[in-house]
């Protein structure tokens, strides 16, 4: 049962359409990520859900309460939808305690207790009297989360809350926010353009493009079985090779590969992830030449040029955690099923497509 339901929401600014019929379902207690490149309308969607913008069409429902729909626009302060904006946006004239208590009624019982509990939840106990200017970026972000949780909202919206933090801090704040959200049992929507953040933080991911949600599912579903080639490319690094499906087998220049899911026979392209490409001794796989390696510490990307049957040269990227190849000549093998997409009229086939089709 979904708690937050967005149905066919449209929004245009000065006749420029920004949202073109967005559908989104977030189950109660889940953390959903809306993932998309900048300009895809994800922040506008968030502002429509919060009530800062009026939708041009469609409905927004929380539980059984219609928040926005034809002829209906509930004011932001009546929605019980709290936001954590980019860079926190703490009230600079109020202390940490003043910020967290802002949404609590003045007469609320045990107001100070509640503030202390929330600060403990976000790992900032004892910070009540600090002013926002005295906090680091990560601390400000945590206070902003505590402030949003304070009035016990039904939904919490987070607008790229980690993008202003530096890389090292980002991971730890992200983990803390995730556990604080789970501990509070709140339903949350996180907007981000960072695929790694979306996949690692969220229970459900909705990929947005050109004002629409093109695919929604668990992080694994999105990554393993993307809806189309563009989603595949957007949610992670992808090796795209021309491929033909016949009888449930994907025929490529790299050989016959098992198909993930089902597909009708036809010409198109296969997507494999770099971690599906395994380096083996030269004799045990397809012969390949190392063009370049990029070392990240925990793993490395190796750019290869694979010599396929029929002397076709195919660029392929491989992710390896083992030792880097010592010599220029290596062998490769592909493991696991691959996703395949039929050719669309506007797709430009990569080099070797003809050979693959006739292979």
Partner 1 sequence: MPALLAAAVAVLPLGYLAVRAGEGGLSTAVEVLLRERTLWLVLRSLGLTAAVTSACLVVGVGLAWLTTRTDLPARRTFGVLAALPLAVPSYVAAYAWISAFPGLAGFWGTFLVLTACTYPYVYLPVVAALRRSDPSLEEVSRSLGRSARATFLAVTVPQLRPAAAAGALLVALYTLSDFGAPSLLRYDVFTRVIHSSYRASFDRTPAAILAILLVVITVAITVAESRSRNRGGTARLGGGVVRPAVTVTLGRLRAVAMGLCLAVAAVALAFPAGSLGYWLVRGASASFDVDRLVSAATSTVGVSFLGAVVTTALAIPVGVLAARYGTRTVRLVEHAAYAGHALPGIVVALALVFFGIRFARPVYQETPLLVLAYAVLFLPVAVGAVRASVAQSPRRLEEVSRSLGTGVWTTLRRVTLPLAGPGVAAGAALVLLTCMKELPATLLLRPTGTDTLATRLWTETGSGAYAAAAPYAAMLVLLAAVPTFLLTHAQTHRAARSTDGVDPRDVMEGGSR
CB closer to partner 1 out of 118 and 286: 118
Within positions 44 to 103, which residues make up the interface with partner 1, using CB under 8 A?
50-52, 75-83, 85, 89, 91-93, 102-103
CB closer to partner 1 out of 84 and 180: 84
User: How far apart are CB 326 and partner 1 at their closest, in Å?
Assistant: 43
Return the HEC string of the chain.
Answer: CEEEEEEEEEEEECCEEEEEEEEEEEECCCEEEEECCCCCCHHHHHHHHHCCCCCCEEEEEECCEEEEECCEECCHHHCCEEEECCCCCCCCCCCHHHHHHHHCCCCCCCHHHHHHHHHHHCCCCCCCCCCHHHCCHHHHHHHHHHHHHCCCCCEEEEECCCCCCCHHHHHHHHHHHHHHHHHHCCEEEEEECCHHHHHHHCCEEEEEECCEEEEEECHHHHHHCCCCHHHHHHHCCCEEEEEEEECCEEEECCEEEEECCCCCCEEEEEEECHHHEEEECHHHCEEEEEEEEEECCCCEEEEEEEEECCCEEEEEEEEECCCCCCCCEEEEEECCCEEEEECCCCCCCCCCHHHHHHC
348 near partner 1, rule: CB under 8 A: no
147 near partner 1, rule: CB under 8 A: yes
Residues near partner 1 (CB under 8 A), total: 25
Only one of the segments 116-124, 143-151, 267-275, 289-297 lies at the binding site for partner 1 (rule: CB under 8 A); that segment is 143-151
* Member of 148, 189, 250, 254 binding partner 1 (CB under 8 A): 148
CB closer to partner 1 out of 154 and 300: 154
Within positions 233 to 292, which residues make up the interface with partner 1, using CB under 8 A?
none
User: How far apart are CB 229 and partner 1 at their closest, in Å?
Assistant: 33
345 near partner 1, rule: CB under 8 A: no
CB closer to partner 1 out of 33 and 157: 157
CB closer to partner 1 out of 13 and 52: 52
Q: Are 142 and 122 in contact (CB under 8 A)?
A: yes
User: How far apart are CB 100 and partner 1 at their closest, in Å?
Assistant: 10
Within positions 186 to 225, which residues make up the interface with partner 1, using CB under 8 A?
none
CB closer to partner 1 out of 32 and 156: 156
User: How far apart are CB 85 and partner 1 at their closest, in Å?
Assistant: 5
* Member of 17, 27, 57, 151 binding partner 1 (CB under 8 A): 151
Q: Tell me which residues touch partner 1 (CB under 8 A).
A: 50-52, 75-83, 85, 89, 91-93, 102-103, 147-148, 150-151, 153, 157
């Amino acid at each position: 049962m979904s708690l937050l339901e967005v149905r066919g929401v449209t929004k245009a600014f000065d006749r420029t359409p920004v949202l073109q019929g967005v559908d989104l379902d977030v189950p109660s207690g889940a953390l959903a990520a809306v993932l998309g490149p900048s300009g895809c309308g994800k922040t506008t969607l968030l502002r429509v859900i919060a009530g800062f913008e009026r939708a041009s069409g469609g409905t927004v429902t929380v539980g059984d309460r219609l928040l926005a729909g034809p002829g209906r626009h509930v004011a932001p302060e009546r929605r019980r939808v709290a936001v954590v904006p980019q860079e926190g946006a703490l009230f600079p004239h109020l202390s940490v305690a003043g910020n967290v208590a802002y949404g609590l009624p003045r007469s609320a019982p045990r107001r100070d207790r509640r503030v202390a509990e929330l600060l403990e939840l976000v790992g900032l106990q004892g910070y009540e009297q600090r002013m926002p200017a005295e906090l680091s970026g990560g601390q400000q972000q945590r206070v902003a989360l505590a402030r949003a949780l304070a009035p016990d909202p039904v939904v919490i919206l987070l607008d790229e809350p980690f993008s202003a933090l530096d890389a090292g801090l980002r991971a730890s704040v992200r983990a803390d926010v995730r556990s604080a959200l789970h501990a509070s049992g709140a339903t949350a929507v996180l907007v981000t353009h960072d695929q790694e953040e979306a996949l690692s933080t969220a229970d459900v991911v909705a990929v947005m493009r050109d004002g629409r949600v093109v695919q929604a599912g668990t992080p694994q579903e999105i990554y393993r079985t993307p809806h189309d080639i563009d989603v595949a490319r957007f949610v992670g690094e992808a090796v795209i090779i021309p491929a033909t499906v016949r009888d449930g087998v994907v025929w490529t220049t790299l050989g016959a590969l098992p198909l993930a899911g089902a597909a009708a026979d036809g010409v198109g392209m296969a997507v494999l992830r770099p971690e599906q490409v395994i380096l083996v001794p030269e004799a045990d796989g397809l012969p390949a030449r190392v063009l370049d390696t990029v070392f990240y510490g925990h793993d490395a990307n190796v750019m290869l040029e694979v010599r396929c049957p029929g002397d076709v040269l195919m660029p392929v990227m491989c992710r390896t955690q083992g030792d880097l190849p010592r010599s220029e000549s290596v062998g490769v093998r592909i493991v696991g099923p691959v996703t395949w997409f039929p050719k669309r009229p506007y797709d430009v086939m990569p080099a070797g497509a003809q050979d693959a089709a006739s292979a």
